[in-house]
Each structure stands twice: as C-alpha cells, then as structure tokens.
Amino acid sequence: MTELPVSTKKKLGLVIDLDICVGCHACVTSCKGWNTENYGAPLSDMDAYGADPSGTFLNRVHSFEVQPATGPAQTIHFPKSCLHCEDAPCVTVCPTGASYKRQEDGIVLVNESACIGCGLCAWACPYGARELDQAAGVMKKCTLCIDRIYNENLPEVDRVPACVRTCPAGARHFGDLGDPDSAVSQLVADRGGMDLMPELGTKPVNKYLPPRPKDRAPAAPLTPIADVQATGIAGWLDRMLEKF
C-alpha cells in the first residue's frame, strides 16, 4: 500500500480551550469511569480510602497561577493527557515495541501484552502523560477512547472521547487535525491554537487555545500549582500569555 503524504494523514486529537476550562474535573471523572470499565483491566486505585491514596489516571487537570505581561495574575486550569505526538519519544525509547503510533489515525497506544513496565516511556515523555498501573504492572495512557470513536453501536453523538462528551463548559473538542478544513483545525486557526512546549520538537497533535488576559482580578481565591513536576508547563503558560 502506498503511504499517504504526511500532510494528508489523519491526525485525530483534542483541542482544549484554556480560556473556558473551569477546572471542574468532569473530564477526569468521566475518563476514569469509562476506562475503568472499558480499558481492559480496570484502572487501579491503591489505598483509595487510606492515608496515602494513589491511582492511575489517563487525564488530569492542574491549576496554575500565571502572570500575564499586563494586568493581574490569572488562574489557569490546565487539562493534561497524552498529546499523541507526531515524533513521540515514548515510542522511540520503548525496548519491546509495546508503545506504538497507529498509521491510520495517529493515535499512540500501548500493547499491554508486550509492555514490561520498565517506565522508560514515562521517563521520555516530557509532558508526564504516562502512568504505571501499579496493580497491572504496565504503562497506561490516553487512547482517545478508541473503543468509543469507532464504535458503530453507539449513537453518533457519543463517538467522541468520554472527556469531550462530558465537558460541561465545551472546552474540549475532538477531530482530525490533519484535515485543514475540519472543525478543530478551523478552531485552531481562528483562535491561534498552540503546541505545548514546541521547543521540545515532539510535534504534539493536541492543541491548546490560549487564555485571554483578564481586565480584572478573579473573584475566587487563586489556586496553587497542583503538581510541582509541571513547572515547565507553568512557564509555557506565562510565555503564551505574553503574546496576548
């Protein structure tokens, strides 16, 4: 089969609007629920009701206080999951080939039967989007709900990732970012959608729509950084706001 030129390949992904995400965590809850029931092995929770709970999540929301070039500081709620990079370092470093990128739609997946849980992919991912399921002993990640988007038994309105279907603010969008005429591509063009930390060279498929600087201080108290390991993302948000 003749390989399609890169420019015409399907690139399924998400567009996330940071201007209207309210940090409600509905996307986190729906992702956890759907994938616990449908991922294969349930997404584990360790000591869920104890003193030191932990668990496997394919989508998380972090909150940052950032300072625009002008105006007051802003609280930005930042959803984070696998960005399905075109040049995915997690795929490159995987010693068993368990991590792979599908040619037909660009989705990055893990073949769990080949995964040895070594953690190299999590080490290589600059976005912290890989998680070791401690119960299963394998790496897990966002699949763009591949079991939903191609499921003809579902109503067409439900053939999107669970996080997109659930978002009450309409901050999440799904589609083919390889098609310049698609709704998501047009949204990126209209709003100046951006790659997360493009200097890393991973060419993420998922895009973020920038928050608009606010003219006044927020009414609610500012939320502290939720994950100290995501400092690089906070810096990227600061740089993004400098442009707007």
User: 149-201: per-residue pLDDT in tens?
Assistant: 999 999 999 999 999 999 999 999 999 999 999 999 999 999 999 999 999 99
Distance in angstroms (rounded) separating the CA atoms of residues 138 and 228? 24
Burial (Cβ within 10 Å: 0-12, 13-18, ≥19) of residue 11: buried
In contact, 106 and 86? CB cutoff 8 Å: yes
DSSP bridge partners of 14: 174
Enter the tokens of residue 23: 């940090």
CATH topology of domain 6-241: Alpha-Beta Plaits (3.30.70)
CB burial of 205-233 (b: ≥16 within 10 Å; e: otherwise) equals bbbbbbbeeeeeeeeeeeeebebeebeeb
To the question of pTM greater than 0.75 for the whole model, the response is: yes
Dihedral of the CA atoms 156, 157, 163, 169 (nearest 10)? 160
Which helix (H) or strand (E) segment holds residue 35: the answer is helix 26-38
Enter the tokens of residue 237: 């948000």
Burial (Cβ within 10 Å: 0-12, 13-18, ≥19) of residue 21: buried
In contact, 46 and 214? CB cutoff 8 Å: no
pLDDT-flagged residues of the chain (< 70): 1-8, 40-41, 213-231, 241-244
Distance in angstroms (rounded) separating the CA atoms of residues 239 and 210? 11
- For residue 195, the one-letter residue type is D
Which region holds residue 239: left if phi is over 0, alpha if psi is between -120 and 50, else beta? alpha
With helix as H, strand as E and coil as C, how does 165-222 read? HHCCCCCEEEEECCCCCCHHHHHHHHHCCECCCHHHCCCCCCEEECCCCCCCCCCCCC
pLDDT of residue 237: 76
pLDDT of residue 215: 58
pLDDT of residue 8: 59
